Structure 1
Amino acid sequence: MLKRNIWVKVLFLITILGFLAACNDSTGGSESGDDDKVVIRMANQVEESNFLNQGYVKFKEYIEENSDGQVSVEIHNGGTVASSDEQIVELLNNNTIDLSTSSAYGTASTTGVKGFNLFDMPFLFQDREEFYEFIDGPYGDKLAEEVGESQNVEVLGYTDLGFYSIMNGNTAIETPEDLNGLRIRSSAATLHVETLSKLGANPTPMDYSEVFTGLQQGTIDGVSTTTPLIYGDRFYEVNKNITLTNHILLPHVLMVNKDFYNSLSDDIKQVFDEAVDVYIEESRKLAVEAEQEAVDGLIEAGVDVVELTPEQLDLFKEATETVREENVGEVGEENYEEALEFLE
């Protein structure tokens, strides 16, 4: 009987390995029964209705409609495949997924390209237009080149998920002192943690996919992330106070696995590149629309939305003004100086 159980386990293992091999045996993404069809695997950490995923859907619709049935796109939502930005980059590198976006800080920590950390510096850009003028220029090209030199992925472009706000279930936040002692969810990015610490909060790193449960169970008092993400993932169901601090703009980096992209035929590459352009343009529009929809939706949901006066905003800027100089090493002196030269 013991020998029989061992053989059953061995046969089961062989079956699973064969299945995994079949899923990955393709010339560009995974196959779905049609040897000539390319399946592009994408993944994100948000729910299907979230505007980040709606951008993915724009890409899917364009490439499927314009590839004469040669391409289909699988989108895995809600952290079912990747539960963090860092994991997304890792999965892109090893060709578990083919195309996806990751935050600038997630890309920096996984690839070692420090220049992405620049965007975590608080109150760096005046507005979104200034950010895109910078990232679409030589600085963004340099970051893409550095990633390509060290990774099995290629940077295709940049978008954003909106400006950061601070939400909590305890009190309305109008000054940095109102944050004293509050456990605010943060990414693990050094500059995110430092910024919240300077504001008096107790930054609590946590995977994004765990935030709702953390708020619900009281593991954290609040969350610092973009307003559209807060609204799209319904954090307002458990927290009723939000302050539009706009202290950080969250860039997202669109990347593709090199082996996958290089395996595409010239015809499909052309459609793929066009779909990328459509995605970049549409996702930037979606971010702007999502911010306004989020504020309106939060107010309608009974959330106390604090829009800081210029005087109140100055208090937050003053509280975090040393974060940049103290963390130049996280960004790299050359990168920091290049940004200052541009901004001046």
Structure 2
Amino acid sequence: MFKMWKRICIAFLCLILLAPAAGLAKDYGDKDSAKVIWKTATMAPKGIGYSQLFEEILLPEIEAQTKGDLYLKIYWGGVMGDDKQILKKMRIDQLQGAGLSGQGTFELSNEIAVLGLPFMFNNYEEIDYVKTKMIDTFDAVVRDESGFKVLQWLDQDFDQIYSSKYPMDHCENFSKVRFITWYGNLEGRVLEKLGASPIPIDVAEIPSTVRSGAGEALIAPSIWIAATQLYNSFEYVNSAKIRYTPAFVVVTERAWNQVPPEHVKKVAEMRIPLSQTFCEHSRLESEKYLKAIMSRGIKCAQPCKEEMELLKAKTIPLWEELAGDLYSQEILDELLAHLQEFRNMQKGG
């Protein structure tokens, strides 16, 4: 079901960059009879992959829950710009909603950065537990900092490290490649801790930068690498869970407040179940794409136990170093407490 919003969020990133002409506006619902009209945007190209699932699964669910009271005009394929531009248009009420990639999600609030800290999560089970415990917390920070309502907390992926020159299974190799960064301050700090000198670029420039050899390594989700066909430019992949990346679906508070009260409760009740359904499918999809990428000849460059411990030793200190700077100590402590609680339950079980 909600498969699409994330797919919208993740694959979109590049698919639209390669085929901007695929992005078209599309209407959903009966504008004349609808009580609420939302204009929404995403970088996902219409009719491709996740956006197709969005149309087949999510939109019918939305229509059923709102009984036709909601009319959507969706701008596909980045016709409204990248995530930053989409958020800008939401702030001036030119748009009411968005399906964001991880990059756009981190733009909503600095507090969300705690979810993308290096090696914070060991698996998706931990993420699912934290989601049930902290979704209200992130609802509040997004509302307070951006003025938006979080409709869904989905996930992009446990992103992987791709490289064309050296395998990223040894810390010493991070200083030997031209490493691209496109996720802001947190990603840059992580790479610096590993010895890299990251090169900040816009997402639209990534494919050409990699193909020209000006960029030799990056961190990205498998579905994005597959969509851009950048697997043809890389030699190695390190799928160690260096970071988890969330993907949020948001609307403006003004747009949310227009939803008839009888629908608000239903939307709230279905939020977690829809997220779970979506994530079950999107995670399988990400795994499928990673296997497909590796079948094209990209070599697995998994760190040995010693190198993995070194990767963690170099980057995990950032958790505390960035507290009070990028995000609050309180939200970090809350996240760590829930994680420890879950891990203790797992040991006890």
Task: Give the shorter-chain TM-score range.
Answer: 0.7 to 0.9
Instruction: Check whether the contact 2:192–2:198 (CA below 8 A) recurs between aligned residues.
Output: yes
Read off the aligned partner of 2:89 and give its amino acid letter.
L
Give distance in 1, aligned partners of 2:206 and 2:131: 29
> Counterpart of 1:200 in 2: which secondary structure?
coil
Paired residue for 1:176, among 171, 176, 193?
171
Per the TM alignment, residue 309 of structure 1 is displaced from its structure 2 partner at its CA by 3.9
Instruction: Check whether the contact 1:59–1:278 (CA below 8 A) recurs between aligned residues.
Output: no
Give distance in 2, aligned partners of 1:332 and 1:68: 41
Structure 2, unpaired ranges of 5+: 1-25, 341-349
> Counterpart of 1:155 in 2: which secondary structure?
strand
Give distance in 2, aligned partners of 1:109 and 1:319: 25
Per the TM alignment, residue 306 of structure 1 is displaced from its structure 2 partner at its CA by 2.6
Size of the aligned set, in residue pairs, is 312
Give distance in 2, aligned partners of 1:267 and 1:287: 30
Instruction: Check whether the contact 1:244–1:308 (CA below 8 A) recurs between aligned residues.
Output: no
Go from structure 1 to structure 2 and tell me whether the alpha carbon gap of 1:39 and 1:316 turns closer, same or farther (over 3 Å shift).
same
Instruction: Check whether the contact 1:168–1:242 (CA below 8 A) recurs between aligned residues.
Output: yes
Q: Please state if 1:189 is matched with 2:184.
A: yes
Give distance in 1, aligned partners of 2:67 and 2:30: 17
Give distance in 2, aligned partners of 1:66 and 1:119: 30
Partner of 1:317: 312
Partner of 1:136: 132
Paired residue for 1:45, among 29, 43, 46?
43
Backbone CA RMSD of aligned residues:
3.1
Read off the aligned partner of 2:230 and give its amino acid letter.
F
Go from structure 1 to structure 2 and tell me whether the alpha carbon gap of 1:275 and 1:326 turns closer, same or farther (over 3 Å shift).
closer
Give distance in 2, aligned partners of 1:208 and 1:49: 21
Taking structure 2 as the reference length, the TM-score comes to 0.77
Partner of 2:203: 208
Partner of 1:291: 286
Instruction: Check whether the contact 2:102–2:156 (CA below 8 A) recurs between aligned residues.
Output: no
Paired residue for 2:223, among 228, 231, 234?
228
Instruction: Check whether the contact 1:55–1:282 (CA below 8 A) recurs between aligned residues.
Output: no
Read off the aligned partner of 1:36 and give its amino acid letter.
S
Instruction: Check whether the contact 1:102–1:252 (CA below 8 A) recurs between aligned residues.
Output: yes
Partner of 1:306: 301
Paired residue for 1:262, among 231, 242, 257?
257
Aligned pairs (5 A) from 1:1-344: 34-37=31-34, 40-48=38-46, 53=51, 56-57=54-55, 58-64=57-63, 71-84=70-83, 86-103=84-101, 106-110=104-108, 113-137=109-133, 139-266=134-261, 279-328=274-323, 329-344=325-340
Give distance in 2, aligned partners of 1:48 and 1:239: 27
Instruction: Check whether the contact 1:78–1:209 (CA below 8 A) recurs between aligned residues.
Output: no
Per the TM alignment, residue 267 of structure 1 is displaced from its structure 2 partner at its CA by 6.0
Structure 1, unpaired ranges of 5+: 1-28
Give identity over the alignment, percent.
18
> Counterpart of 1:247 in 2: which secondary structure?
strand
Read off the aligned partner of 1:82 and give its amino acid letter.
G
Go from structure 1 to structure 2 and tell me whether the alpha carbon gap of 1:54 and 1:159 turns closer, same or farther (over 3 Å shift).
farther
Give distance in 2, aligned partners of 1:276 and 1:341: 24
Give distance in 1, aligned partners of 2:68 and 2:316: 53
Give distance in 1, aligned partners of 2:81 and 2:268: 24
Per the TM alignment, residue 160 of structure 1 is displaced from its structure 2 partner at its CA by 0.5
> Counterpart of 2:331 in 1: which secondary structure?
helix
Instruction: Check whether the contact 1:56–1:75 (CA below 8 A) recurs between aligned residues.
Output: no
Per the TM alignment, residue 321 of structure 1 is displaced from its structure 2 partner at its CA by 2.9
Per the TM alignment, residue 313 of structure 1 is displaced from its structure 2 partner at its CA by 2.1
Instruction: Check whether the contact 2:154–2:278 (CA below 8 A) recurs between aligned residues.
Output: yes
- When Rg is computed on C-alpha atoms for both structures, the one with the higher figure is 1
Give distance in 1, aligned partners of 2:232 and 2:71: 35
Give distance in 1, aligned partners of 2:31 and 2:48: 31
